[in-house]
């Protein structure tokens, strides 16, 4: 499973409308992989969670998965559309 598929799996489990979740990955500068997670604006509250706890947990799980699979440095952006 790739890092994009893993992130999709995690976010779709939280989001109320899983079909609208979009995750993309591209290479940034200095060997950093950037992971963009786009979710519907009305689902932002459930994905971010109270005081950002869900978002921090998502970032931690995705970065741990990247570390185990030796993906390298990873930057995660969570945004709405």
Every domain of the chain and the residues it spans: 3-80
Q: In sequence order, which residues have a C-beta less than 8 Å from that of residue 18 and are 6 or more positions away?
A: 11, 12
Beta strands in 1-81 (DSSP E): 22-27, 32-39, 73-80
pTM of the predicted model as reported, rounded to 2 decimal places: 0.89
**pLDDT of 54:** 94
Reported for 19-24, long-range contacts at CB under 8 A and 24+ positions apart, including other chains, are none
> Which is the CATH superfamily of the domain at 3-80?
K homology (KH) domain (3.30.300.20)
Give per-10-residue mean pLDDT for the chain (81 aa).
Answer: 94 91 91 93 90 94 94 91 87
According to DSSP, the residues that pair with 37 across neighbouring strands are 23, 78
């Amino acid at each position: 499973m790739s890092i994009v598929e893993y992130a999709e799996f995690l976010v779709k489990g939280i989001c109320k409308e899983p079909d609208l979740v979009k995750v993309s990955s591209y290479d940034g500068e200095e060997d950093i992989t950037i992971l963009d997670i786009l979710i519907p604006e009305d689902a932002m509250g459930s994905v971010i969670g109270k005081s950002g706890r869900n978002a921090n947990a998502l970032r931690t799980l995705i970065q741990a998965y990247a570390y185990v699979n030796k993906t390298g440095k990873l930057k995660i952006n969570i945004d709405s559309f």
